[in-house]
Chains A and B, each alone.
Chain A
Amino acid sequence: MKLLPQPEALRQSRLGWADLLVILAVLTLLGLIAHVGSEAMVSFQPPDVSPVVSLDPRNLPEYAARSSLRMFIALGCSTAFTLIYGSLAAHNRRAEKVLIPLLDILQSVPVLGFLSITVTGFIALFPGSLLGLEAASIFAIFTSQVWNMTFSFYQSLRTVPQELTEAASLYRLSRWQRFSRLELPSAAIPLLWNAMMSFGGGWFFLAASEAISVLNQSYTLPGIGSYVAAAVAARNLGALGWAVLAMAVVILLLDQLFWRPLVAWSNRFRLEQSGGGDAPSSWVFNLLRTARVPTLVGEALAPVHERLDQLLSALLGPVSEGSSEAETPGADRMFNLAAMLAVGVLLAALVHFILTTVGMAEVVSAFWMGLHTLARVVLLLAAATVIWTPIGVAIGFQPRLARLLQPLVQFLASFPANFIFPFATLFFIHSHVPIGWGSILLMALGSQWYILFNSIAGAQTIPSDLREMADDVGLRGLQRWRKLIIPGIFSAWVTGGVTASGGAWNASIVSEVVSWGGTTLKADGLGAYIAEATNQGDWPRIALGIGLMSLFVVGLNRVFWRRLYGLAERRYHL
């Protein structure tokens, strides 16, 4: 990075090599997208002919590119959905009442359980082309990313400073102008961070959705995830190693070329009006700022931008005046009643469907499976906490170490754990670890990092004078943990715990059933239950499994995590 000249030095030349680089990069990117995109259009006749994945490592770059394209399309869809859904929920009181609880539920639904429904649906939608599978995979990634992003955007919209909103309405900004000048910028930073985290989590679902068997029929979509699946089927450890390496390279590249520049750029949207603080830096962003081409293009497009602004303003109309919104308790009551009625009918239909098809006994046994998985999630959280919190706190208390290790932890968190699963499976088979216990380890592979990550962050927020005081009065060992550290990192731990537990539930669907070549290990649990039902295309059991898992997650959130959040805010707020 030090080899690059400083921006000031480069700015003097008119069209320097920075411009050349930028132009070349743009052309390469466009070519790549065109090439990779065209492959998605190749005709295929499901279920007879499926694309074959070659295990030659030389094909990996291409597969990685195709997987990345899926990820970015999903990200684009998530962003669009977020902006529309979030705006609707924040600006319309009635829509808010339905959309926000709905979001809360959707967030808790295990994405992987959905795959069977979506794959069949999308294949029917695009007959005779890979597009159906592509769409199903993209949809799986989309559903794993979008809820978080939408929540973050909605929260930001609700917390736009009141005086800014008043200024926007006094200066008569149109609906579009308010959105583009005020709301989007003020939501940009949290939205971007959320998108980045969700994108990292998305790799897991990409890998799981590229090779899937639904209704006793296996579908393959060329990509890095199906490469791993093929390697597992062929018991090819070497190919697996290449896939892990390729995945790591892709994550690092995307971080350097895409996310970091975005984060550096978004720094201008900070709401605190004072300067200071470490501005995040990125060599790509510096390059772009140095080059004159982007500025020139921007200036050339300014009149277009101006037109577009006016057009959209006219199209979306003025902001409806909040003051004219009459308070109509009667209509509100009607609306609430209708919403509740709709929810009731849906619930009744679902219960009826499950009872008439599988019966009460099946519900009980599925619930029993759910308890198994619940026990695994609890054990996982306890183990991860015991192991990672001390390490996280130790790291967090040393700023230099934390700066060094935090990117590594972030990398580990976004590395799709299911790439490691085959190695673990192999280990279980050879050392005869029962999968009932082994699956805990598998679930932990992805979710433990949230505990570590948040412990580090929590430890960093403990003020150094409190630590000095603890040293001064001689708090040591257990006492130090009880009086200072545990209360200090409690809220961060709760945040990490919620994320880890949600991730673990989702991961159970792919962790409780694993295979290596022809050998398949299966544990008792709700995850395995859903995976099996999906495989057989058993709709009632799929519905029952997904419904139960959602209930478990929502129940856990309400009964357990929400209370801990409350406690953290009341008592342990630093």
Chain B
Amino acid sequence: MTLIRVDQISKRFPRPDGRGEFTVLNNVSLSIRAGEVVALLGRSGSGKSTLLRIMAGLIAPSQGQVLSHDQPLRGSNRNLAMVFQSFALLPWLTVQDNVELGLAARNVSREERRERALKAIDIVGLDGFENAYPKELSGGMKQRVGFARAFVLEPEVLFMDEPFSALDVLTAENLRGEIDDLWNAGTFPSSSILIVTHNIEEAIYLADRVVILGANPGRIRGELTVNLPRPHDRNHPRFKALVDYVYTVMTNPDLAVTGEPETAPELTPTPTPAAPTTLSPFARPLPHVRVGGISGLLELMHEQGDGSLDIPLLAERLQLEVDELLPLLDAAVLLDFAEVADGDVHLTPVGRDFATTTILRSKDLFRQQVLERVPVLNSIVHTLQQKSNRSVRSDFFLEIWDDYFPSEEAERQLNTAVDWGRYAELFEFDAGQARLTLPR
């Protein structure tokens, strides 16, 4: 039985300056069926939170429709409850009152509210804390209140928006395990779960089905079925293969997601500045990382002897979220300092050189790689050279980026380009006058 379905939806936001629109989600179709756990997995900018909110009826799609039990949805969906990343508790209400919030809105009588809330608080293991205020609780306990508030409504579908990402690693692990236990024991108050996450292991651990989203614009790249006995065993070879596969897919935005790790094509790490000639250099997003981050990563890989590492292992060792690690890898690959294949990352000869040399030489190497492989910086330098005063206001470039990205992202692109360009000593930037100038 299909509980919630979105049919070919798109979401566009108007640009702030009124110059047309920007597409956040493009032609997305997805169903949530009874009895399954679905994970939406994607990097930042893939519109996964927007998709979740559209499915919840919190925001309306620009195109296509949302169906709940095959009926078009108007307003927020009555059959679901949501657990928020930041917990979204009202700090001036006690645990009990927070949990009762949704019941009060449904005009449930005081006694019944009390009773049901106590039961929900019991389920999440917070009995004894009914009269505490949120500020007295640790992060993990706050999120337990968030779960209790959702459970008490016995929603058909439970939506979770990165529910564990604001918690520290151990607390997150503990709570994730308990939620999974509840689900596996069959006592879960909802018949389906939809979870948004950027944590690959979390997605495969919790979900029966993992939907992978791509960015620019946000779209569904494909999905894979986990197909393991619950609870999913992290040491099972298939679990590991799935994790490796997802890492590979997510570090290669151009790769088709076929759904099964075994059928994954042999990846030739095509170091691709080979963007189609028709595409503006400004259309290819720069990964938002600092140069210091790249060299730190490369140095660490170099110290691992042969300069090759399993990416999931790397993530674990560095305690980095996928959202932090993947841009680093992107940058290293873009600059041809590293190659990624089959969930492993290797140093290239240039990368090894970069990781081991002196500051001055590493700047030269960086400049050389940037000029060779990052067309957008090339293009900026070229523009500056054309000017008689060898200087251009940064707004000029910002406007070009604005054509390809929403304005916040355009600004971030500019900041990253400035950071790289300054490090490579390609140009200078005066923040006060907002001007880029060629050196000397």
Contacts and interface: CB of A to CB of B under 8 A. Distances in A.
A163 B86 contact: yes
B78 A166 contact: no
B91 A170 contact: no
B218 interface: no
A274 B135 contact: yes
Nearest to B53: A166
Given A172-B105, A173-B105, A323-B75, A167 B135 contact: no
A381 B409 CA distance: 43
B76 interface: yes
B19 interface: no
Given A271-B91, A273-B134, A321-B57, 12 more contacts: A164-B90, A166-B84, A170-B56, A170-B77, A171-B149, A173-B105, A177-B105, A272-B91, A303-B110, A321-B74, A321-B76, A323-B58
A305 to B, nearest CB: 10
A169 B84 contact: no
B100 to A, nearest CB: 10
B86 A161 contact: yes
B74 A324 contact: yes
8 contacts: A166-B53, A170-B82, A172-B78, A172-B105, A173-B105, A273-B142, A313-B107, A323-B58
Contacts of A303: 110
A268 interface: yes
B102 A172 contact: yes
A275 interface: yes
B189 to A, nearest CB: 15
Interface string B93-111: 1000000011011110010
B75 A167 contact: no
Among A161, A170, A174, A269, max chain B CB count under 10 A is at: A170
A169 B105 contact: no
A310 interface: yes
B81 interface: yes
B85 interface: yes
B59 A306 contact: no
Nearest to A174: B105
Nearest to A269: B92
B80 interface: yes
A245 B48 CA distance: 65
B136 interface: yes
Interface string B126-138: 0000000111100
B131 to A, nearest CB: 13
Among B60, B89, B104, max chain A CB count under 10 A is at: B104
B282 interface: no
Contacts of B107: 310, 313
Among A166, A171, A181, A324, max chain B CB count under 10 A is at: A171
The 5 closest A-B pairs by CB, nearest first: A323-B60, A171-B102, A321-B75, A163-B88, A167-B88
A284 interface: no
A91 interface: no
Contacts of A302: 110
B93 A166 contact: no
B87 interface: yes
A322 B101 CA distance: 21
A270 interface: yes
Given A167-B84, A274-B135, A275-B135, A181 B78 contact: no
Among B60, B77, B90, B133, max chain A CB count under 10 A is at: B90
Nearest to B155: A170
Given A166-B82, A167-B84, A181 B133 contact: no
Chain B's interface size range is 35 or more
Interface in A260-274: 268-274
A248 interface: no
A185 interface: yes
Contacts of A163: 84-86, 88
B89 A181 contact: no
Interface string B152-176: 0100000000000000000000000
A502 to B, nearest CB: 31
Contacts of B142: 273
Looking at chain A's contact residues, the main secondary structure is helix
Contacts of A171: 81, 101-102, 105, 149, 153
A182 interface: yes
B104 A177 contact: yes
A75 B110 CA distance: 34
A172 B58 CA distance: 11
Nearest to A310: B107
B90 A182 contact: yes
Given A170-B80, A177-B104, A321-B74, A185 B58 contact: no
Contacts of A268: 91-92, 133
A566 B133 CA distance: 38
Contact of A169 (B76, B90, B104): B76
A569 to B, nearest CB: 14
Contacts of B60: 323-324
B58 A170 contact: yes
Contacts of B58: 166, 169-170, 323
A172 B101 CA distance: 9
A181 B90 contact: yes
A11 to B, nearest CB: 15
Contacts of B102: 171-172
A302 B82 CA distance: 29
Contact of B75 (A161, A269, A313, A324): A324
Contacts of B149: 171
Contacts of B91: 268-273
Contacts of B106: 172
A161 B84 CA distance: 12
Contacts of A174: 105
Nearest to A325: B60
A181 B149 CA distance: 15
Contact of A166 (B74, B88, B92): B88
Contact of B93 (A181, A270, A306): A181
B101 A273 contact: no
A73 B82 CA distance: 43
Contacts of A271: 91
Nearest to B81: A170
Contacts of B53: 166
A212 B389 CA distance: 67
A167 B98 CA distance: 11
Interface in B65-83: 74-78, 80-82
A275 B57 contact: no
A174 B106 CA distance: 9
A170 B75 contact: no
A165 B370 CA distance: 44
Nearest to B75: A321
B135 A323 contact: no
Interface in A139-155: none
A309 B110 CA distance: 12
Contacts of B57: 321, 323
A164 B88 contact: yes
Interface in B380-401: none
A21 to B, nearest CB: 26
Interface in B109-143: 110, 133-136, 142
A330 to B, nearest CB: 15
Among A167, A171, A275, A322, max chain B CB count under 10 A is at: A167
A324 B58 CA distance: 10
A275 B86 CA distance: 16
A306 B110 contact: yes
Interface in A264-291: 268-275
A206 B56 CA distance: 53
A313 B82 CA distance: 23
A389 B133 CA distance: 41
A182 B90 CA distance: 7
B253 to A, nearest CB: 28
B101 A173 contact: yes
A295 to B, nearest CB: 13
Interface in B28-81: 53, 56-60, 74-78, 80-81
